[in-house]
């Protein structure tokens, strides 16, 4: 199977390269894999995820995502790449002035799909995340768990080849967390999307031995 993500001797840093967070990390993630990346707070999990969607340029080494080299990717190519990704954030990053339905179809809107297609897809996704009755409500009228389900629906709206999730259940109770994990497992198994989740702890719900990478002492290591 081909690699969706490939990092070779990857070094990530802030402050103009002075503060190194990840150093000389080499790893690959294959198409269709579900991978957990864990590590203690401040170890660089979110930094790694930011680099995977191109918000952080590697200091050294190479980072390929979806066959594109993120070290020197153009703005246009990066926009194109991101439009085929689904990104889920701990703080949801929903647009509070927009309805739930409009939030869900944001990637379709960006890609220029017709209103009809957007509406059909929104209904399907909202049914999938069990939020049909909230379609015309605004994010701030929903609970945290519901908002994150909107975030997941948005991430799935364009059948992404890669889903990146940054502590997706960090702010949620156990019930809501389990709903989110179910949705992400479904995306992986039914849509064949590659899923990369960074989290400080793998939830107990996962009995299946998914692949697990750990960030420690600025390196990235295989756990299983």
Partner 1 sequence: MKSARDHLMFVLPLMVILIGIEFFIVFDRVTQNYEEKLKSSYSILVVARKKIDLPTFKKIDDRIVDAETMKRKDIARIIAKEMRNASGNEILKSLPYFYSIHLNSFLRQDEIDGIEKKLMKYPGINRVETFGDSHNSKYNLFVFLKTLFWSFVLLMSLVSIFLIIKQMEVWHMAHRERMQTMEIFGASMMLRSGVLFRMGIVDALTATMLSSGIFAILKYYWVPNSGIELFMQKRDLIFEPADIAILLGISMTIVIVAVINVAMISREIRE
CA 28 centroid distance within chain = 16
Among 39, 107, 139, 168, binds partner 1 (CB under 8 A): 107
Phi first, then psi: give them for residue 138, nearest 5 degrees. -105, 150
Q: Rounded distance, CA 210 to CA 200, Å? A: 15
Residue nearer to partner 1 on the CB measure, 93 or 212: 93
Q: Rounded distance, CA 33 to CA 172, Å? A: 25
Q: Give strand ranges (E) for the chain.
A: 3-14, 19-30, 34-38, 60-65, 68-69, 85-88, 162-166, 194-198, 211-216, 219-222
Residue nearer to partner 1 on the CB measure, 53 or 210: 53
- Interface mask (CB under 8 A) for partner 1, residues 57-96, using x and -? x--------------------xxxxxx---x-----xxxx
Do 28 and 16 touch, CB atoms closer than 8 A? no
Among 26, 110, 141, 189, binds partner 1 (CB under 8 A): 110
Which residues between 126 and 165 bind partner 1 (CB under 8 A)?
154
Residue nearer to partner 1 on the CB measure, 171 or 178: 171
- Interface mask (CB under 8 A) for partner 1, residues 13-42, using x and -? -x----------------------------
Q: Rounded distance, CA 75 to CA 7, Å? A: 20
Among 7, 37, 52, 56, binds partner 1 (CB under 8 A): 56
Longest pairwise C-alpha distance within the chain: 50
Which residues between 162 and 221 bind partner 1 (CB under 8 A)?
none
Residue nearer to partner 1 on the CB measure, 38 or 52: 52
Among 72, 97, 182, 216, binds partner 1 (CB under 8 A): 97
Smallest gap from residue 211 Cβ to partner 1 (A):
25
Smallest gap from residue 80 Cβ to partner 1 (A):
7
Concatenated DSSP letters for 175-200? HHHHHHHHHHHHHHHHH--EEEEE-S
For tokens 């191109």, name the residue.
54
CA 199 centroid distance within chain = 11
Residues that bind partner 1 (CB under 8 A): 14, 53-57, 78-83, 87, 93-98, 106-107, 110-111, 154
């Amino acid at each position: 199977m081909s690699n969706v993500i490939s990092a070779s001797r990857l070094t990530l840093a802030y402050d103009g390269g002075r503060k190194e967070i990840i150093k000389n990390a080499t790893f690959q993630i294959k198409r269709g894999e579900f991978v957990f990346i864990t590590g203690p707070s401040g170890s660089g999990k979110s930094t790694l995820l930011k680099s995977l969607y191109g918000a952080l340029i590697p200091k050294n080494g190479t980072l390929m995502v979806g066959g594109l080299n993120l070290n020197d990717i153009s703005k246009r190519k990066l926009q194109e790449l991101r439009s085929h990704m689904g990104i889920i954030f701990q703080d949801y990053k929903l647009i509070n002035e927009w309805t739930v339905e409009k939030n869900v179809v944001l990637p379709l809107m960006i890609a220029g799909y017709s209103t009809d297609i957007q509406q059909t897809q929104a209904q399907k996704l909202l049914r999938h995340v069990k939020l049909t009755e909230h379609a015309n409500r605004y994010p701030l009228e929903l609970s945290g768990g519901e908002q994150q389900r909107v975030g997941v629906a948005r991430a799935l709206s364009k059948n992404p080849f890669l889903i990146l999730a940054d502590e997706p259940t960090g702010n949620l109770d156990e019930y809501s967390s389990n709903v989110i994990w179910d949705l992400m497992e479904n995306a992986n198994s039914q849509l064949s999307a590659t899923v990369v989740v960074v989290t400080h702890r793998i939830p107990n719900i996962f009995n299946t031995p998914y692949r697990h990478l750990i960030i420690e002492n600025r390196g990235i290591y295989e756990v299983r």
